[in-house]
């Protein structure tokens, strides 16, 4: 795919401490970066703190809807789509960033087993978490964990077969299985689907 994003390294800023960027702007922690190329009508690439502030201000007044209108009202050379993404994944005040707890991780694993890559649905069950964050966390942490588990499971299985412990092997099959394995379980053991977010499942 042709990448249209800005490639300038100086154009990129990073936040490793996972704090609210608006707050960082206020307290002056956030690193600044030069504005994107003047050649382009629409800015792409990393957001500046200035852009963040403008966007937050406009959303505070007009609400988080009509993203193209918000983009133009804020005077940002960004498309509505980009503004929406920035708000949803980064600027929202109720957002929780980093430090995914064991309980959350466990919930993500269970939900993923149940729903697959339906990141927005999974995020819907984790207050303050975004689909993007969960997707990233899955791809960088959990998928590896699962692979390791699978590997370990295969080793265990081999050992058991070698030992001729067929009964144990059958029991462990499920535990060693991958995400695509046909695990049978009672959905109700996992979640309460009375929640309106899961209306479609109930249907």
Partner DNA sequence: AAAAGCTGCAACCGCGTACGT
Partner DNA sequence: TACGTACGCGGTTGCAGCTTT
Binding site for DNA (CB under 7 A): 1, 3-5, 7-12, 14-16, 18, 43-47, 65-68, 78, 80-82, 84-86, 89-90, 97-98, 117-121, 131-133, 135-137, 139-141, 144
Cα(58)–Cα(75) distance, rounded to whole angstroms? 10
Minimum distance from residue 12 beta carbon to DNA (Å): 4
Within a 10 A sphere around the Cβ of 173, how many other Cβ atoms?
A: 13
> In whole angstroms, how close is the CB of 15 to DNA at the nearest point?
6
Q: Which of 120, 114, 118 is nearest to 179 (CA)?
A: 114
Contact status, residue 176 vs residue 161, Cβ threshold 8 Å: no
Q: State the minimum distance, in angstroms, from the CB of residue 147 to DNA.
A: 11
* Closest approach of DNA to the CB of residue 21, in Å: 9
CB nearer to DNA: give 7 or 164.
Answer: 7
CB neighbour list of residue 107: distance below 8 Å, 6 or more residues apart: 125, 126
Q: Which is nearer to DNA, 49 or 153 (CB)?
A: 49
CB nearer to DNA: pick between 111 and 160 = 111
Give the nearest distance from C-beta 86 to DNA in angstroms: 5
Scanning 29-92, the segments in alpha helix (DSSP H) are: 49-62, 67-73, 80-86
Q: Which is nearer to DNA, 12 or 165 (CB)?
A: 12
- Burial class from Cβ neighbours inside 10 Å (0-12, 13-18, 19+) for residue 134 reads buried
- Give whichever of 98 and 175 is closer to DNA, judged by the CB atom: 98
């Amino acid at each position: 795919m042709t990448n249209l994003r800005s490639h300038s390294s100086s154009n990129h800023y990073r936040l490793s401490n996972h704090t609210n960027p608006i707050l960082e702007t206020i307290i002056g922690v956030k690193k600044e970066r030069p504005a994107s190329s003047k050649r382009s009508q629409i800015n792409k690439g990393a957001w500046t703190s200035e852009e963040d502030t403008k966007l937050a201000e406009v959303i505070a007044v007009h609400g988080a809807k009509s993203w193209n209108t918000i983009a133009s009202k804020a005077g940002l050379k960004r498309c509505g789509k980009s503004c929406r993404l920035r708000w949803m994944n980064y600027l929202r005040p109720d957002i929780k960033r980093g430090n995914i707890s064991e309980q959350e991780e466990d919930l993500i694993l269970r939900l993923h087993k149940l729903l697959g890559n339906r990141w927005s649905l999974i995020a819907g069950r984790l207050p303050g978490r975004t689909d993007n964050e969960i997707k990233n966390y899955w791809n960088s942490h959990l998928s590896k964990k699962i692979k390791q588990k699978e590997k370990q499971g295969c080793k265990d299985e081999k050992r058991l077969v070698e030992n001729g412990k067929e009964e144990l092997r059958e029991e462990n099959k499920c535990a060693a299985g991958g995400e695509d394995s046909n695990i049978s379980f009672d959905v109700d053991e996992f979640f309460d689907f009375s929640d309106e977010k899961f209306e479609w499942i109930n249907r």
